[in-house]
Amino acid sequence: MDQRTMRNIFGQFATGVTVITCANDQGTPHGATVTAFTPISIEPRLCQVTLTRKSKACGYLDDAPFAVNILKSDQLDTAMHFAGKPQEHGPEWSSEWLVPALAGNAATLICNPWASYDGGDHVIYVGEIVGAHVDTEAEPLLFYRSKFHDLGETSGAAAYCGSLDDPHSRWFDATARFTPSCVPLSAVS
């Protein structure tokens, strides 16, 4: 498959939008808009970001602390600014952290370097989360099919809270039968 086909396939997966920020060699804040962010582990607290090898930010992250700024729906200008289209009003930086981080995010994760791995034309950076802030009222900025979106209306469907498809309890197959242990909120109203 060619690169465009692969991009289109990957674009079928809606993601949140983050800006990864860190300091460059001179201590100046730097950032890059990234949709390849994944929580990995609760204990230890780990997450990963994946950056193209060609980016300046990729060079700055080697063994350096960084922030994952999870953008909220009204931060499209911030996403565009760090995607290479500088906006008239530059980003607002937070003074709360020792690592450069943005202000006004849906959530901010401050990470120490944990590991990095070869990811083909990308580098996979794993960070240990050592600080965090969350705005529980914020709606996320989303990326889907190469366009930005907001969350929109809820579908009315709730995650099944009685699922036993969990390796800590047991796996189940297609023949398994079980009774829900809770009722989704949508069924109560």
Q: What angle do CA 154, 160, 161 make, to 5 degrees?
A: 115
Look at residues 44, 8, 31 and name the one whose alpha carbon lies nearest to residue 79. 31
The dihedral sign for the CA sequence 125, 126, 132, 135: positive
> What Cα–Cα distance (Å) separates residue 59 from each residue in 14, 85, 89, 158?
27, 20, 26, 41
3-150 classified as CATH 2.30.110.10:
yes
Domain ranges of the chain: 3-150
**Helix intervals (H) in the chain:** 3-10, 56-60, 76-82, 185-188
Please tell me the predicted confidence (pLDDT) of residue 178: 57
pTM for this prediction: 0.79
Angle at 100 between CA 24 and CA 136, to 5 degrees: 145
Amino acid at 35: T
Cα(96)–Cα(21) distance, integer angstroms: 14
Which is higher by pLDDT, 167 or 1? Answer: 1
Residue 164 has pLDDT above 70, yes or no: no
pLDDT of residue 51: 93
Would you place residue 22 in the very low, low, confident or very high pLDDT band (cuts 50, 70, 90)? very high
Contact 69, 19 (CB under 8 A): yes
Residue pair 50/125 in contact by the 8 Å Cβ criterion? yes
Amino acid 63 reads D
* Residue 129: both structure tokens together: 């989360």
Backbone angles phi, psi at 80, to 5 degrees: -65, -40
Q: Which tokens belong to 96?
A: 């709360």
Which of 23-32, 46-55, 138-147 is predicted least confidently? 138-147
What value does the mean pLDDT of the chain take? 84
pLDDT of residue 189: 47
Question: b or e along 138-158 (b: 16 or more beta carbons within 10 Å of the residue's beta carbon)?
Answer: bebbbbeeeebeeeeeeeeee
